[in-house]
């Protein structure tokens, strides 16, 4: 039974197998050997090669004509030349072993090297083609999404201009819907752009010194009006251990926080949203920062929590219908956080709320200085306390607004000088928000500047700053 099995396996093996005795006389050649060596259809030969001399197949390796010799090739795998019946030849990798049960019986196993190389080359070619196709696809997605931004922002700019002029309430409502649609479209485009860059492994993080508190203020400013609009409470606490300055990618950390905060806001109708920032570890000159975003919203079922960080994953279709979104946000967050050496997770209870947390590693710099005590973990502050100064900043023309505008304008100039267009867009957006309600000529300059930044046009951006600066210094 065992013999039958071994015979079957030998016969079906992909490599060539020859069995011969100590005089080199072949007793068996498997199907692959018969086929490759051209003995398949030898009339009346039974198994083709049987009875022939193994030296006929490997004349350079084995003795001819029934001469006993060392048929084991020293026990190692060797490169030999195999001769077909028609005396053409091809290289093989071969190994010969002597049967343990029947000493004096040898088994030679051989692989066609050319065939293997050919296969290897084919695999290599297929792999290269697949990589090329993936690259073309990623580039196409990146180009198309980048190009999509221009018309969307064109519409957005004009709609905002019209909003500034329109007095008729129903028309204003329509214009605001268009504005919101454009904003959503921009978010979508940015997500697809990030996703395709991350997938293509083309994502490069920045390592630059930044002020942690300023970054958190920027994140808060992005959401404050919506939080107020929804009547939610908001608390942000930063542990005094968190350094004032760290080295890392400010924009990407802000992006993850923004994403978690927008989700918290999207899925919470009553109660509060809390953001906490802690320093959880330090190794030499690197610190681990830990961010928590807690909401009292709709929560997520335990069985759905694992799916959240996969791409295109939403808890269920009804959620996407009701709240919108592509299911890309958390996957992008996960990839970004992992690039920054950290991890992201969630704890949530259905109908009670969710707590998303993530950690990242950042570098320490000389003036790291911890964040002053005024914001410690216990003394939480809420938007209500800050509302007054916040409001003043938002009103175009107030001293607070002017100061914030010129601060952001100088940051924008710096980014443009350093060709950091992505960060420049971030400051541009703040400038745009700060100049809402500005006179028409100022709004026009802001729009031109925004277009220039988006198109990464240095000359036009430089002209835009000067114009805006001249308005601010009046
Ligand atoms: P999207 O871009 O569609 O918002 P995300 O990846 O950010 O995608 O989120 C995926 C899904 O995770 C959401 O559609 C929602 O079902 C769920 N989710 C995310 N954050 C929260 C939250 N704070 N509360 C409840 N559900 C959430």
Distance between Cα 266 and ligand 1 center (Å): 8
| Lowest mean per-residue pLDDT among 78-82, 293-297, 338-342, 414-418 | 414-418
Least confident of 232-246, 316-330, 459-473: 316-330
Ligand 1 atom at shortest distance from the alpha carbon of 298:
25
Protein residue with least CA distance to atom 19, ligand 1: 263
Read off the pLDDT of each residue in 131-148 and give the average, rounded to a whole number.
Answer: 81
Gap between the Cα atoms of 408 and 416, Å rounded: 12
- 164 CA to centre of ligand 1 in angstroms: 33
251 in ligand 1 pocket by Cβ < 6 Å? Answer: no
Q: Give the residue, out of 183, 227, 300, 326, with the most ligand 1 atoms within 8 A of its beta carbon, to mutate for a pocket test.
A: 300
Question: Ligand 1 center to residue 345 CA distance, Å?
Answer: 13
**Ligand 1 atom index nearest CA of 315:** 16
DSSP 36-74: HHT-TT-TT-SSSSTTSBHHHH-TTTS-SSS----TTGG
267 lines ligand 1 (CB under 6 A): yes
- Helix, strand, or coil here: 361? strand
Q: Angle of helix 383-394 relative to helix 212-230, nearest 10 degrees?
A: 100
Q: Which two tokens stand for residue 7?
A: 């015979």
> In this predicted model, what pLDDT tens digit does every residue of 45-85 receive, in sequence order?
445 788 888 889 998 887 766 566 667 777 788 899 999 98
Specify the pLDDT at position 109.
93
* Residues 391 and 437: beta-carbon distance below 8 Å: no
**Cβ(62)–Cβ(44) under 8 Å?**
no
- Degrees to nearest 5, angle at CA 357 with 236 and 333: 105
CA distance 433 to 279: 32
Nearest ligand 1 atom, CA 299: 25
- Taking the CA of residue 353 as reference, the ligand 1 atom at the shortest distance is 24
Higher pLDDT, 230 or 416: 230
353 close to ligand 1 (CB < 6 Angstrom): no
- Rounded distance from Cα 329 to ligand 1 centre (Å): 8
What is the structure's pLDDT at 375?
37
- Which of the listed ranges 164-178, 318-332, 419-433 does the model predict with the highest average pLDDT? 164-178
Mutate to test the pocket of ligand 1, among 327, 331, 353 (most ligand atoms within 8 A of CB): 327
Say if residue 222's pLDDT is above 50: yes
In this predicted structure, what is the pLDDT of residue 386? 43
Q: What is the pLDDT of residue 19?
A: 92
Which residue's CA is the closest to the ligand 1 atom numbered 14?
A: 314
State the Cα–Cα distance between residues 82 and 114, nearest whole angstrom: 12
Q: Is the CB of 327 under 6 A from ligand 1?
A: yes
Q: Looking at residue 359, what is its pLDDT? A: 95
Q: State pLDDT tens for residues 83-108.
A: 998 889 999 999 998 888 888 899 99
pLDDT (tens digit per residue) in 258-267: 999 999 999 9
Instruction: Please work out whether the CB of residue 297 comes within 6 Å of at least one atom of ligand 1.
Output: yes
Distance 344 CA to ligand 1 centre (A): 14
- Evaluate: CB of 354 within 6 angstroms of ligand 1: yes
Q: Is the pLDDT of residue 323 over 70?
A: no
> How high is the pLDDT of residue 254?
93
Residue 44 has pLDDT above 60, yes or no: no
274 lines ligand 1 (CB under 6 A): no
What pLDDT sits at residue 382? 37
Cα 313 to Cα 11, 355, 358, 472: the distances in Å are 50, 18, 19, 46
What's the half-sphere exposure (Cβ side, CA atoms, 13 Å) at 26?
25
Any atom of ligand 1 within 6 Å of the Cβ of 271: no
Q: Name the pLDDT band for 304 (thresholds 50, 70, 90).
A: confident
Q: Which of 305, 391, 402, 287 is nearest to 345 (CA)?
A: 305
What's the pLDDT band for 465 if we cut at 50, 70, 90?
confident
Closest-lying ligand 1 atom to the alpha carbon of residue 328: 6
Ligand 1 pocket test, candidate residues 189, 305, 314, 344, most atoms within 8 A of CB: 314
At 460, give phi and psi (nearest 5°). Answer: -65, -35
- Mean pLDDT over the full length of the chain: 84
175 SS3 class: helix
Give the model's pLDDT for residue 320.
54
Tens of pLDDT, residue by residue over 357-402, are 999 999 998 765 655 433 333 333 333 334 455 677 788 888 888 8
Q: From the centroid of its chain, how far is CA 309?
A: 12
Cβ of 264 below 6 Å from ligand 1: yes
At 67 the pLDDT is: 63
Closest C-alpha residue for ligand 1 atom 13 = 314
Q: Is the CB of 305 under 6 A from ligand 1?
A: no
Query: What value does the mean pLDDT take over residues 202-210?
Result: 87
> Helical H runs in 267-324?
302-305, 317-323
State the burial class of residue 354 (Cβ atoms within 10 Å of its Cβ: 0-12, 13-18, 19+).
buried
Count of other CB atoms within 10 angstroms of residue 234: 23
Does any ligand 1 atom lie closer than 6 A to the CB of residue 325?
yes
What is the model's pLDDT at position 84?
Answer: 92
CA-only gyration radius of the chain, Å: 36
**How confident is the model over 392-417, as pLDDT tens digits?**
778 888 888 888 888 888 878 877 87
Check if 250 has its Cβ closer than 6 Å to any atom of ligand 1: no
Q: Ligand 1 test: best mutation among 188, 330, 331, 347, most atoms within 8 Å of CB? A: 330
Instruction: Identify the band that residue 183 occupies on the pLDDT scale cut at 50, 70 and 90.
Output: confident
User: Backbone phi, then psi, for 90, in 5-degree steps?
Assistant: -155, 150
Share of the chain above pLDDT 90, in %: 35
Burial class for 283, CB neighbours closer than 10 Å (0-12, 13-18, 19+): exposed
- The closest-lying atom of ligand 1 relative to the alpha carbon of residue 323 is 14
Q: pTM for the full model?
A: 0.55
Can you tell me whether residue 138 is helix, strand or coil? helix
Q: What is the DSSP letter of 172?
A: H
């Amino acid at each position: 039974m065992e013999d039958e099995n071994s015979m079957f396996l030998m016969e079906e093996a992909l490599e060539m197998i020859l069995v011969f005795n100590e005089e080199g006389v072949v007793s068996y050649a498997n199907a692959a050997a018969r086929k490759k060596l051209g003995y398949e259809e030898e009339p009346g030969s039974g198994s083709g090669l049987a009875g022939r001399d193994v030296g006929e197949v490997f004349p350079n390796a084995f003795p001819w004509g029934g001469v006993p010799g060392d048929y084991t090739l020293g026990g190692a795998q060797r490169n030999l030349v195999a001769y077909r019946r028609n005396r053409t030849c091809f290289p093989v990798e071969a190994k010969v072993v002597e049967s343990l049960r029947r000493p004096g019986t040898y088994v030679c196993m051989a692989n066609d090297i050319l065939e293997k190389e050919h296969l290897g080359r084919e695999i290599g070619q297929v792999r290269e083609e697949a990589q090329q196709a993936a690259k073309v696809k990623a580039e196409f997605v990146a180009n198309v999404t980048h190009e999509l931004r221009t018309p969307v922002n064109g519409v957005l700019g004009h709609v905002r201009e019209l909003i500034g002029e329109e007095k008729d309430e129903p028309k204003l409502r329509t214009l605001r819907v268009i504005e919101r649609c454009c904003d959503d479209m921009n978010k979508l485009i940015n997500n697809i752009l990030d996703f395709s860059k991350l997938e293509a492994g083309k994502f490069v993080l920045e390592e630059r010194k930044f002020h942690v508190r300023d970054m958190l203020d920027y994140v808060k400013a992005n959401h404050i009006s919506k939080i107020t609009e929804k009547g939610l409470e908001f608390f942000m606490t930063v542990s005094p251990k968190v350094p004032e300055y760290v080295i890392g990618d400010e924009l990407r950390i802000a992006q993850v926080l923004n994403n978690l905060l927008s989700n918290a806001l999207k899925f919470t109708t009553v109660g509060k949203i809390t953001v906490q920032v802690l320093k959880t570890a330090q190794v030499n000159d690197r610190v681990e920062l830990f961010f928590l975003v807690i909401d009292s919203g709709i929560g997520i079922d335990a069985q759905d929590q694992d799916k959240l960080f996969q791409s295109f994953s939403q808890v269920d279709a009804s959620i996407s219908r009701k709240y919108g979104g592509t299911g890309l946000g958390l996957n992008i967050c996960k990839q970004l956080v992992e690039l920054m050496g950290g991890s992201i997770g969630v704890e949530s209870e259905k109908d009670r709320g969710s707590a998303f947390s993530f950690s990242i590693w950042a570098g320490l710099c000389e003036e790291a200085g911890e964040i002053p005590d005024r914001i410690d973990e216990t003394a939480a502050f809420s938007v209500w306390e800050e509302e007054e100064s916040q409001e003043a900043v938002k009103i175009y023309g107030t001293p607070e607004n002017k100061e914030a505008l010129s601060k952001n304008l100088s940051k924008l100039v710096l980014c443009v000088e350093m060709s950091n267009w992505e960060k420049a867009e971030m400051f541009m957006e703040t400038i745009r928000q700060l100049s809402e309600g500005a006179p028409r000529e100022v709004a026009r300059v802001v729009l031109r500047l925004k277009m220039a930044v988006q198109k990464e046009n240095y000359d036009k951006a430089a002209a835009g700053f000067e114009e805006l600066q001249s308005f601010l210094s009046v």
